[in-house]
Structure 1
Amino acid sequence: MKKIAILASGEGTNAERIIRYFTGYATIEVAVVIASRPTAHVIERAHTLNVPCEVIIPQDFAAGKGLEVLKNYGIDFVVLAGFLSRIPDDVLHDYARRIVNIHPSLLPKFGGKGMYGMHVHEAVLAAGEHESGITIQYINEHYDEGDIIFQAKCPVLPGDTPETLAQRVHALEYTYYPQEIERLLSLLS
């Protein structure tokens, strides 16, 4: 059994889709959700779906609590789903090439610290881009600079708002992120 930890900071819509995708799998389970804020809605989603949830604030995560929780749950693979805190070096080291993130643009465009959620969609529209999409990548010590695993595109339409663009990007996330996680897990020995 390969065990996944999902790290999230907000609503948890991607986390919920990933949990539902792997529910009933004989060889893969979402073993824990780790939330970085005690008010994150992902906590409620995890409880509703009967997945244990731990709240670890960024300072405690950086001080070693994150790695401790991952080890206690026997985690094989870490999935970031709207997790806004920096991943500490000890976790990066112990989970090298076993931590993935999804970003709501076609990296390397519109990435980096502070580029998340609606900020990204606003920047895409302000730049006059004709397409946007998602990037699934491995995590390293720099925001949005890890090796790219997968990208999917969608058009930016005339009259788009950040909200309408976000809807199309979310549809890509919900479709492809669980599939890519499954594919990557199949490559682990």
Structure 2
Amino acid sequence: MANHKTKLAVFCSGTGTNFQAIYHAINERDLPAEFSLCLSNRSECGAMTFAAAKGIPTVHLSEKQYDTHEEFASAMLKALGEHDVEYILLAGYLRKVPEAVVEAYNLKILNIHPALLPKFGGKGMYGISVHQAVLEAGEKETGATVHYVDTEYDKGPILLQRTVPVKKGDTPESLAARVLECEHQVYPDALEKLLTGTNR
């Protein structure tokens, strides 16, 4: 179908600045995609508020709502199916995606990590702790990595990376701010590469 728009779900836990960057890039670049679902483990967060304001269906789904991990995974798959989701974008989603969902969406789930994987990845490596580790290691550059999600933290195949210089006198906070700006560029670029096969 020439006019088919790939249906995307975004999984968020916080403000959703990467989600917003991707949403605006889709419109500005006229990419063949649209968000059909915003899923969060928090009933109230910036990402859910933004999605609701843009008319994107929202679903609050937390493992605490279910008796078993299997029931939670099943509910997630049901929500994805009901909204015809083809690809999932993780944007500050602070939970591990259930294995059943990863298997159902093999090589169709993307995540962004605020470092140059495979360095500074793995369990517990998120948020400010990543930038702290980069500075403590004396790295001269860091960056952002968009990768496919598999069943291990930050181990899936890399789709796109971009570097950011580490500057003299950087704090974890100043470095985080610079990397976040990079994330807002590289995540939409990675999606465009995925959808159209072109690099920016």
TM-score, shorter chain, exceeding 0.5: yes
**1:105 maps to what in 2?**
115
Q: How many Å separate the matches in 1 of 2:35 and 2:83?
A: 10
Partner of 1:41: 46
Identity %: 39
Partner of 2:102 in structure 1?
Answer: 92
Q: Is the 8 A contact 2:147 2:160 kept in 1?
A: yes
Maintained 8 Å contact 1:22/1:30: no
| 2:147 counterpart residue number | 137
Deviation at 1:67, TM superposition (A): 0.9
TM-score by length of 1: 0.93
How many angstroms does 1:16 deviate by? 1.0
Residue equivalent to 1:81 = 91
Amino acid at match of 1:56: L
Amino acid at match of 1:39: E
Q: Which residue of 2 aligns with 1:181?
A: 191
The Cα shift of 1:59 comes to: 4.4
Deviation, structure 1 residue 18: 1.1
* Matching residue of 1:22: 26
Stretches of structure 1 lacking an aligned partner (at least 5 in a row): none
- TM-score where L is the length of structure 2: 0.88
User: Taking structure 1 as reference, are residues 52 and 151 closer, same or farther at Cα in structure 2, changes over 3 Å only?
Assistant: same
Superposed displacement of residue 43, structure 1: 1.1
Q: More displaced, 20-29 or 103-112?
A: 20-29
Shift of 1:166: 1.0
Give yes or no for contact 1:60–1:66 (8 Å, CA) kept in 2.
no
- State how many pairs are aligned: 187
Aligned-pair CA distance for 1:39: 3.0
Of stretches 33-42 and 156-165 in structure 1, the one that deviates more from structure 2 is 33-42
SS of residue matched to 1:23: helix
Do 1:6 and 1:33's aligned partners in 2 also have CA atoms closer than 8 Å? yes
What's the Cα RMSD here?
1.7
How far the C-alpha of 1:90 sits from its partner, in A, is: 1.4
